[in-house]
Amino acid sequence: MTYRWIHRVWYEGARSGWLLLPLSGLYWFITVGRRFLYRCGVLKVRRVPVPVIVVGNITAGGTGKTPTVIWLARELRGRGFSPGIVSRGYGGSKSKSPMRVDAASDAQLVGDEPVLLARRSDCPVAVDANRVRAAAMLVDDGVDIIIADDGLQHYRLGRDYEICVIDGARGLGNRRLLPAGPLRELPERLEDLDQLLVNGAMRSSNDLSVAELNAVEFELVATEACRVNGSLTRPIDRFAGTTVHAVAGIGNPSRFFEQLRALGIQVIEHSFADHAVLDLKELEFGDGFEVFMTEKDAVKLGRRSKDKFWYVPVEFQMDPVLALPMIEQIESRLRGWQASQ
> Do 207 and 257 belong together in one domain?
no
**89: helix, strand or coil:** coil
What are the residue ranges of helices labelled H in the chain? 3-11, 21-39, 65-78, 107-110, 112-121, 131-140, 210-213, 253-262, 295-298, 320-340
Confidence of residue 20 (pLDDT cuts 50, 70, 90): very high
Residue 124: what are its φ and ψ, rounded to 5°?
Answer: -60, 140
Q: What is the mean pLDDT of residues 194-209?
A: 81
Q: How many distinct structural domains can be found in the chain?
A: 2
The model carries a pTM of 0.95
| Residue 96 belongs to domain spanning | 52-219+317-340
> Do 186 and 231 belong together in one domain?
no
Note whether residue 32 is domain-resident: no
Note whether residue 326 is domain-resident: yes
Q: Is residue 204 over pLDDT 70?
A: no
> Do 215 and 231 belong together in one domain?
no
Q: What is the predicted pLDDT for the residue at 213?
A: 78
Note whether residue 92 is domain-resident: yes
> Do 161 and 300 belong together in one domain?
no
For the chain, give the mean pLDDT.
93
CATH number of the domain to which 120 belongs:
3.40.50
Note whether residue 20 is domain-resident: no
Note whether residue 2 is domain-resident: no
> Do 304 and 322 belong together in one domain?
no
> Do 259 and 328 belong together in one domain?
no
> Do 170 and 253 belong together in one domain?
no
Neighbours of 45 (CB within 10 A): 13
